[in-house]
Amino acid sequence: MLDGVVLDKYERPILSLRITLTNRCNVNCLYCHHDGMVKSKDEMTADELYTICKIAKKIGVRKIRLSGGEPLLKNDIVEIVERIASLDFKDISMTTNGILLEKYAQELKDAGLDRVNVSLDTLNRETFEFITKKDYLEDAKRGILKAVEVGLYPVKINMVIMKDINQDEIDDMFEFCKENNIVLQLIELIESENCDDDKFSVDYHYKLDDIEKELADIADDVREREFMQGRKKYYINGGEIEVVKPVDNAKFCANCSRLRITPDGKIKPCLLRNDNLVELISHVRNGESEEKLEEIFIKGINKREPFNS
């Protein structure tokens, strides 16, 4: 079933590559882990990203996710998607805050993007401003609805749950999602060395176990994503909620099938570690052979360790 896919030392298949295109962002969320990235100004060109994805495809990667920072701040984002889409992956998706999505959704769809996950933690304007420091709630909502309209299917909303900030808004968000044919992802707040305010994720951490129990009680159906960190999806009254619980969760890490690339072109074996990065982009820029680049990918894969075990 997994022909041609590389396994790491823990027998985890490498199915997905998550590329952080930039560290730049147009908002400043209180909790942001910046995709686990150390700050850097260097970014990669569409050509370089194409080469990296081509090697990933050769070693069996099936899915690409473009993230950030805010990926829609890249001026050449449509070209980037177009070049990667020409490699014929099973799935190309993007994680975005949605603020610029109304403008780009149709072009991205035409360029070959399959789907988007859009971060939206609240439907309340003051709470949105408190979390992001900007008054862009309506822009983000318009971006989400445009993504639905152009068929970037399924559109998912990423809602990071924070104690005393938005945990009482889950029902409202689920209604908004059901009305608009959107999947809701509830995400547990992660503590990371890359958060600007390292106390925030401790003070506002809200465990999702009780919420998940309630969902299990009322769900019409429950399914597990085997190669996606064993996450559970709950089907309720015609809607869908996925629960993402990475904190202290050995099962989540045991089923982790993704490798990451930093904006400055390093292979990053784990979201939550920065001490095992593997330099890649200088080899691409030097025009080294595909065999050599494959070797560097394998070196990165060999450094993978489950963060929680």
Ligand X SMILES: C[S@@+](CC[C@H](N)C(=O)[O-])C[C@H]1O[C@@H](n2cnc3c(N)ncnc32)[C@H](O)[C@@H]1O
Ligand Y SMILES: Nc1nc2c(ncn2[C@@H]2O[C@H](COP(=O)(O)OP(=O)(O)OP(=O)(O)O)[C@@H](O)[C@H]2O)c(=O)[nH]1
Q: Please give the annotated binding residues, written as ranges.
A: 18, 25, 29, 31-32, 65, 69, 95, 119, 156, 253, 256, 258-260, 270
| Residue 306 interacts with, from ligand X, ligand Y, ligand SF4, none (CB under 5-8 Å by kind) | ligand SF4
- Residue nearer to ligand X on the CB measure, 192 or 229: 192
Task: Verify binding: residue 284, ligand X, rule CB under 6 A.
Answer: no
Report the 3 state secondary structure along the chain: CCCCCCECCCCCECCEEEEECCCCCCCCCCCCCHHHCCCCCCCCCHHHHHHHHHHHHHCCCCEEEEECCCHHHCCCHHHHHHHHHCCCCCEEEEEECCCCHHHHHHHHHHHCCCEEEEECCCCCHHHHHHHHCCCCHHHHHHHHHHHHHHCCCCCEEEEEECCCCCHHHHHHHHHHHHHCCCEEEEEECCCCCCCCCCCHHHHCCCCCHHHHHHHHHHCCEEEEECCCCCEEEEEECCEEEEEECCCCCHHHHHCCCEEEECCCCEEECCCCCCCCCEECHHHHHCCCCHHHHHHHHHHHHHCCCCCCC
> Of 55, 111, 186, 190, which lies in the binding site for ligand Y, with binding defined by CB under 6 A?
190
Q: Cα separation of 282 and 242, whole Å?
A: 38
Task: Verify binding: residue 246, ligand Y, rule CB under 6 A.
Answer: yes
- Residue nearer to ligand SF4 on the CB measure, 93 or 119: 119
Per the annotation, where are the binding residues for GTP?
18, 65, 95, 156, 258-260
| Residue 162 interacts with, from ligand Y, ligand SF4, ligand X, none (CB under 5-8 Å by kind) | none
> Of 244, 277, 280, 293, which lies in the binding site for ligand Y, with binding defined by CB under 6 A?
244
Of 28-36, 72-80, 201-209, 289-297, the window that binds ligand SF4 (rule: CB under 6 A) is 28-36
Nearest to 23 by CA among 71, 65, 64: 71
| Residue 189 interacts with, from ligand X, ligand Y, ligand SF4, none (CB under 5-8 Å by kind) | ligand X
Q: Going by DSSP bridges, is the β-strand pair 231-236/239-244 parallel, antiparallel, or unpaired?
A: antiparallel
Q: Cα separation of 234 and 240, whole Å?
A: 6
> Of 96, 122, 185, 201, which lies in the binding site for ligand Y, with binding defined by CB under 6 A?
185
Task: Verify binding: residue 100, ligand SF4, rule CB under 6 A.
Answer: no
String marking each residue 195-214 x if it binds ligand X according to CB under 6 A: x-----x-------------
Of 122-130, 162-170, 184-192, 284-292, the window that binds ligand Y (rule: CB under 6 A) is 184-192
- Mutual orientation of helices 101-111 and 77-85 as an angle, nearest 10°? 20
- Residue nearer to ligand SF4 on the CB measure, 22 or 51: 22
- Residue nearer to ligand Y on the CB measure, 176 or 283: 176
Task: Verify binding: residue 189, ligand X, rule CB under 6 A.
Answer: yes
Residues that bind ligand Y (CB under 6 A): 65, 67, 93, 95, 117, 156, 158, 185, 187, 190, 228, 244, 246, 256, 258, 271-272
- List residues binding ligand X (CB under 6 A): 25, 31-35, 67-68, 70, 95-97, 119, 158, 160, 187, 189-190, 192, 195, 201
